[in-house]
A and B are shown apart, each in its own frame.
Chain A
Amino acid sequence: MFRLLVQELKFRRNTILGWGLGLCFFPLTYIGIYPSVADEMAAFADLEIYAAMGMSLGTFADWVGSIMIVLLPLIAAIYSISNGTGTLAGEEEDGRLEMLVTLPLPRWQIVTAKALALAISSAIIYLIVSAVSWIVFLVIESQIETVMVGKDIFTAVMAGWPFVFAMGMIAMFLAAFCSSRRFASMISTAILVVGYFGSNLAASTKVLEPFEPFFLNTYLDGTGKAILEGQSTEDTLVLLGVGLVFFILALIFFQIRKLTVGVWPWQRGKVEA
């Protein structure tokens, strides 16, 4: 399995670099420009429209939380969805998976290696963005008023990774469950978008409050408080737990999957009289 993992990571080299550098756009621009917009942002501190989007922009910590904890994971989740659906359903559709499963490798090792490669690659992307955030913070530190230190911003950004991991495993499960990458991507993206708006609306609307625990974004705190004090350990464990559960489901469904057949799960193995 280690050999396959190494190979899977090699395949992702360019993607990791591309996404890592691309996502550095966030700290370079949004954190970099903060000194010049700090006063204006303070005026938007209590706007309800921002609250509905899970954002608060009053202080530097709020600003960092809104951009790096609320928005960045949404964008990074697109990587994990694309990667998670592409490795199983996508490779099955283009035929490469057949070459892989006909090698002497157990299927559980194939799924595990691909899941680990996804987790490691997204973690490396996050490490790159976190490191750049730290550097940008050091550059602007003298121009802003904040109690944050460089390490805080690094850990705050990294804290978004469990969300990206969980989304990646959901996508991978869907790709193991059905043979259509398009279908798996569509459902994963819907979960991402509904989770984002659902958790924000549930936080501010009593009618939706009971549904709040079902939205993944609920477990990602983008407030200034969370930036300064860190994400709740329970929430982080929930995200990692969700990721783990969907990884196990992916293992189970890939094990029983009729590859290359292209039928839906409920059609598999049905015998006509």
Chain B
Amino acid sequence: MSENVIETQDLTVYYGKHRGILDVNLTIEKGEVFGFLGPNGAGKTTTQRVLLDVFPPTTGKATVFGLDCQKDGVEIRQHIGYLPGELALYSNMKASDFFKMYEYLRKDIRSNGYWKELSGRLDLDTSRKISQFSRGNKQKVGVVAAFMNRAELLILDEPTGGLDPLVQNTVLEMVRETKADGRTVFFSSHNLPEVQAVCDRVGIIRDGQLIATQRVEDLFAQRMNRMTMIFEGPPPAGVFKYDGVTETELSEQSITLEVRDNLPAVLKTAAEHNVRDIETHNVSLEEIFLAYYSKDEGGNNV
């Protein structure tokens, strides 16, 4: 098996006239948890479905474990646990029967009843029919089904959707354990704190195009400070023209800056202009993420 578990080259999918994804080049290494971030309709699910050979790409190529997703789909899927974003289950079955069926259809010897342990961890009553479950409990069924075969690669589409915070933490813990086992997780989510909590790298997709992939710590290393400076009189506009510094707001007595670089110069200039007070706060991953998505604000420069 290749060190790169997932590799895509110029992956493009069109649904009739509609764009799914465009020229997506993605590499996910063995043993990492990769967070795939993007708004609805950005192309996260499309990318995952191509990897699972639910449909072929219009152009481009995707490989998983070094195998072609279209030619070797069956072999690839033997090593994948998948949780779809739009989960649909056989509602007339008991959860336990569903897991047994899954085990049976996969001819899964690795599972060996592991679903019982997982169901216990997620506090899922498997003796009840799926039709009687709340949305959260149905999601637990999907989570257990994805994890139960101890797959080499987990593809999880919004795994914590509909779960209460306690269970969300358990799912994230399960993701961390998967990583600790040396297995790989491709994790799509809207929830930035959880991506921050478990992912090694993140890819940001917008309008079908992968606009950035970065290690989470690098993303934080680059993160900016937002600084509001209050002056005795009118603030000195236009004096903070340094690389990595942007004026975002100007009022009668204050000026707000986003500072990525040249902090000492900014502070020196502020002192020269009789600054009275400085308020700072860190910009969260969410704000960095939003900056990527904000077309009008040229957010790609973060």
Which chain A residues have a beta carbon within 8 Å of chain B's beta carbons?
3-4, 7, 11, 94-96, 98-99, 101-106, 257-264, 267-272
Chain A, residue nearest B51 (CB): A102
Q: Please, how many angstroms separate the alpha-carbon atoms of A270 and B58 in the complex?
A: 8
- Whether the pair B84, A271 counts as a contact (CB closer than 8 A) is no
- B55 partner, pick from A11, A99, A261, beta carbons under 8 A: A261
Interface string of B173-199 (1 = CB under 8 A from A): 000000000000000000000000000
- Whether the pair B55, A258 counts as a contact (CB closer than 8 A) is yes
Which chain B residues have a beta carbon within 8 Å of chain A's beta carbons?
12, 14-17, 19, 49, 52-56, 58-59, 73-75, 77-78, 80, 82, 84, 86-90, 101-102, 104-107, 145
Q: Please, how many angstroms separate the alpha-carbon atoms of A49 and B211 in the complex?
A: 72
- B54 partner, pick from A4, A259, A272, beta carbons under 8 A: A259
- Whether the pair B54, A98 counts as a contact (CB closer than 8 A) is yes
Q: Please, how many angstroms separate the alpha-carbon atoms of A103 and B17 in the complex?
A: 29
Q: Please, how many angstroms separate the alpha-carbon atoms of A268 and B78 in the complex?
A: 27
- Whether the pair B15, A263 counts as a contact (CB closer than 8 A) is yes
**A99 and B89 in contact (CB under 8 A), knowing A269-B58, A270-B14, A272-B14?**
yes
- Whether the pair A272, B17 counts as a contact (CB closer than 8 A) is yes
Report chain A residues within 8 Å CB of B52. Answer: 101-102
Q: Please, how many angstroms separate the alpha-carbon atoms of A259 and B15 in the complex?
A: 11
- Whether the pair B55, A260 counts as a contact (CB closer than 8 A) is yes
**A102 and B80 in contact (CB under 8 A), knowing A263-B16, A270-B16?**
yes
- Whether the pair B84, A99 counts as a contact (CB closer than 8 A) is yes
**A269 and B105 in contact (CB under 8 A), knowing A95-B87, A260-B54?**
no
Chain B, residue nearest A109 (CB): B74
- A267 partner, pick from B17, B49, B73, B88, beta carbons under 8 A: B17
Chain A, residue nearest B107 (CB): A3
Report chain A residues within 8 Å CB of B102. Answer: 103
**A96 and B56 in contact (CB under 8 A), knowing A7-B101, A103-B106?**
no
- Whether the pair B16, A267 counts as a contact (CB closer than 8 A) is yes
Report chain A residues within 8 Å CB of B56. Answer: 258, 269
Of B16, B90, B107, the most chain A CB neighbours within 10 A belong to: B16
Q: Please, how many angstroms separate the alpha-carbon atoms of A257 and B56 in the complex?
A: 9
Q: Please, how many angstroms separate the alpha-carbon atoms of A258 and B55 in the complex?
A: 5
Q: Please, how many angstroms separate the alpha-carbon atoms of A205 and B86 in the complex?
A: 54
Q: Please, how many angstroms separate the alpha-carbon atoms of A263 and B80 in the complex?
A: 27
- Whether the pair B105, A11 counts as a contact (CB closer than 8 A) is no
- A102 partner, pick from B59, B75, B82, beta carbons under 8 A: B82
Report chain B residues within 8 Å CB of A259. Answer: 54-55
- Whether the pair B49, A260 counts as a contact (CB closer than 8 A) is yes
Q: How far is the CB of A7 from chain B (nearest CB, A)?
A: 6
Report chain A residues within 8 Å CB of B105. Answer: 3-4, 7, 103, 105
- Whether the pair B16, A268 counts as a contact (CB closer than 8 A) is yes
Report chain B residues within 8 Å CB of A271. Answer: 12, 14, 58-59
Q: Please, how many angstroms separate the alpha-carbon atoms of A104 and B152 in the complex?
A: 14
- Whether the pair B74, A96 counts as a contact (CB closer than 8 A) is no
Q: Please, how many angstroms separate the alpha-carbon atoms of A4 and B102 in the complex?
A: 10
Report chain A residues within 8 Å CB of B104. Answer: 3, 7
